[in-house]
Chain A
Amino acid sequence: METVFISKLKPFLDAIAEQMDLYVPKKVGQHFVYSKYDPSAGTTVEFNNIRTCTPIKEFLLPLCELAAVFPEPLEPEDIKPFAVFGLKDCDLRSIEILDKVFLEEEFEDPFYVTRREKMFIISSDCFEPGESCCCDLFGGQPFAQSGFDLNVSKIRDGFIIEAGSEKGQGLIEQHAQLFTDVPETLLAERDENRARTQKQLEQNNAEYKLDAPVNEVIENSPDSDVFDIESQKCVECQACTRVCPTCHCFYLYDTKQKDYFAKMKMWDSCMRVGYAAVAGDENPRRMLGDRIKHRLMHKFSFFFDRYGIDMCVGCGRCIDADSHKMDIRVVLKKLNEELKDKPKAKIAK
């Protein structure tokens, strides 16, 4: 796989946009959100220092989509290839998590499969981490190592582009005239940048470091009061689950159209009171504290038990989205402190 240099992003992105729809981060207020790239608009290309505020799952699991039509069955539409620029390591890891659920299980989700196959991923290194960024606490780092087709590292005089897949390599070869070789000195500059960002992150999050692996902290806290106490800050807006790039719950519902019936799939949230309710008004998680506990247990215990990885990438989107600043780092730290004082019964598996 090749690593090459380019001094400006625009010709590179223009070349990609010629082949497929390209989505790039666009600054709106304080945050980055995705919008379709228009080569003819002549706008400056923005390099997002950190992840966008909206989650990457939007590209793979739309907020709402048609899942079935009957009496005549529905097959997934043929989707054109598309590219997304500016994914960070946390975003790539969130895709790895979604893949576990929607690709590797006994039942594949054909709509996810189609989009996933058609998605061309261009990741980029982080710069100046945000206040809520905490990937270092959850096994990540501020630059991508795998899971991308191309990765872009910003350096002082341009960009280093590395291929991470055959598709990415092919694209570099196809547009060889745009790129030059990368001297060792520039690679060294990239590595320094990465180390500096990593250090910044670790400094920002030093106070939240746990004494034990997060799975252990969660699994030893089933009876903790922390969930109920924290729930007093929560207004049940469900924003945390909407912006979370790994939360993937959905609601399947039926609709009636003029000449057919349809099943729709829409994002759902385990923070919603009726989420787990069954007929006859039974509800295992009527209390908000129980729902917060379930969410964290799913992320750090149940998912880990099933797939061997945590269902949190430390992107910090939930921290930014919470109007009352419930901070997952603080909740975990509180559980950690509580365990120091009083060892609790571990949930059996």
Chain B
Amino acid sequence: MSQNPYQPVIGEIVDIIDESPTIKTFVVVPEEKIKFETGQFVELTLPGVGEAPFTPSSSPADSEKMEITIMKAGLVTNLLHECKKGQKVGIRGPYGNGYPIDDFVGKYIYIVAGGVGLAPMRSLFLTLVDRIKDFKSVVCRLGARTPDDFIYKKTLFDSWQKIAGVNMKLTVDEANGGWKGKGKVGVVTTICEKKDVDTKNAVAVICGPPIMMKFATFKVVEFGFKPEDIYLSMEKNMSCGIGKCGHCMIGKYYVCKDGPVFTYDQIKNYPNIWD
């Protein structure tokens, strides 16, 4: 008998970190170890309520626990935000593909992310930083609505910026008193410049709300990035996670199985990819 792919592994929420007014990071310890690659996602079940897909925000190198950063955006996520430490959850996965990190060796990595899109980027960032010498440079252009809305503030505003080989700029749509000196004001594309990287020897990685991903993609295309060098972490309605239920299709691709990481080249001609 084949294994039941719909059966979740039980896990426990052992810690909850408030990241922003609408975002929390849940530290989950699964009863069975779940090995994943950065960029892959899991289906997290709140028992009796529902299930939703999330890309872990922790480094795959940490095999004991998994961190999942979640924004309040719907039924399941609203109720997850009300959970306390000790809550049992279900985890299925990991599903889909990860970032092809080995293909990035020797190149500039141009990360453009916004809002809760920083969550999967954190996992990627930590993975890259572990072997930072393999890459030309990791260039991050990150945005949030307000300074309060930035997640991972403690490391983002401080230690990450000091890592040799990392070049980081931040921006917010709306600043407040404490923002001065930390970054710019404007949407994330306003801190992206052609001179940031040598596009001939670079890959772009983009993650964030659909509208941000759309304009960031157009921007990096304008800089000279080839569509096959632009990696997008797509958010669609991934439900079964195993390429059967149909909800997450982009053209012939199942985002859950063939993605969630796609190159722009793979999907650019299909309708409604940004909606």
A210 an interface residue at 8 Å Cβ cutoff? no
Distance in angstroms from B86 CB to nearest chain A CB is: 15
Nearest residue (CB) in A for B254 is A306
- Chain B residues with CB under 8 Å of A250's CB are 240, 244-246
Chain B neighbourhood of A71, CB < 8 A? 10, 88
Are B47 and A70 within 8 A (Cβ)?
A: yes
Residues facing B in A285-329 (CB within 8 A) are: 285-286, 290, 293-294, 297-298, 301-303, 305-306
Q: Given A68, A285, A347, which contacts B8 in the complex, CB threshold below 8 Å?
A: A68
Question: Do the beta carbons of A256 and B246 come within 8 Å of each other?
Answer: no
Q: Is B51's CB within 8 Å of the partner chain A?
A: yes
Encoded as 1 (CB less than 8 Å from any A CB) or 0, chain B from 235 to 252 comes to 111011011111111011
A78-117: contact bitstring with B at CB < 8 Å (1 yes, 0 no)?
0000000000000000000000011001111110011000
Question: Does B159 have its Cβ within 8 Å of any Cβ on chain A?
Answer: no
Question: Within 8 Å CB of B49, what residues of A?
Answer: 254, 256
* Chain A positions within 8 Å of B269 at CB level: 347-348
Q: B4 interface residue, CB < 8 Å from A?
A: yes
Q: Say whether, besides A254-B48, A284-B236, A305-B252, A106 and B6 are in contact (CB < 8 Å).
A: no
Q: Are A108 and B7 in contact (CB under 8 A)?
A: no
Q: Are B242 and A261 in contact (CB under 8 A)?
A: no
- On whether the beta carbons of A75 and B51 are closer than 8 Å, the reply is no
In the complex, A25 Cα to B118 Cα: how many Å?
57
In the complex, are the beta carbons of A254 and B45 less than 8 A apart? yes
Q: Tell me if B6 and A68 are in contact (CB < 8 A).
A: yes
Number of interface residues of A (CB under 8 A): 57
B209 close to chain A: CB less than 8 A: yes
Pair A278/B243 contact, Cβ less than 8 Å:
no
B244 CB to nearest A CB, Å:
6
User: Is B165 an interface position by the 8 A CB rule?
Assistant: no
**Could you tell me the distance between the alpha carbons of A282 and B236 in the complex, rounded to whole angstroms?**
9
Q: Using known A-B contacts A70-B8, A105-B243, A276-B236, determine if residue A284 contacts B273 with beta carbons closer than 8 Å.
A: yes
Question: B275–A284 contact, CB under 8 A?
Answer: yes
Contact between A285 and B272, CB atoms less than 8 A apart:
yes
Among B6, B7, B236, B269, the most chain A Cβ lie within 10 Å of the Cβ of: B6
Contacts A253-B50, A254-B47, A283-B275; A74 near B243 (Cβ below 8 A): no
Residues of chain A with a CB closer than 8 A to B237's CB:
275-278
Q: Which of A249, A253, A279 has the most CB of B within 10 A?
A: A279
What mask results when residues 253 to 275 of chain B are scored 1 for a CB within 8 Å of chain A, else 0? 00001000000000011111101
User: Is B48 touching A349 in the complex (CB atoms < 8 A)?
Assistant: no
Nearest-CB residue, chain B, relative to A298: B249
A256 to B71, CA, bound (A): 24
Q: Which residues of B, 207-248, contact A by the 8 Å Cβ criterion?
A: 209-210, 235-237, 239-240, 242-248
Cβ-closest chain B residue relative to A297? B251
Q: CA separation between A327 and B50, bound complex, in Å?
A: 37
Complex CA–CA separation, A250 to B6 (angstroms): 12
Interchain CB contact under 8 A, A302 and B209: no
At the interface, yes or no: A252 with Cβ under 8 Å from chain B?
yes
Partner of A268, one of B8, B48, B246, B268: B246
CB contact between A106 and one of B4, B71, B252, B257 (< 8 Å): that residue: B257
Residues on B with C-beta less than 8 A from A68 are: 4, 6-8
Which residue from A107, A286, A347 sits with its C-beta under 8 Å from B270? A347
Q: Is A73 an interface residue (CB 8 A)?
A: yes
> Can you report 9 A-B residue pairs in the complex whose CB atoms are below 8 A from each other?
A70-B8, A71-B88, A73-B7, A76-B4, A101-B243, A106-B243, A114-B1, A276-B249, A301-B252
4 more CB-based (< 8 A) A-B contacts, given A249-B246, A279-B77: A70-B10, A108-B5, A251-B239, A256-B48
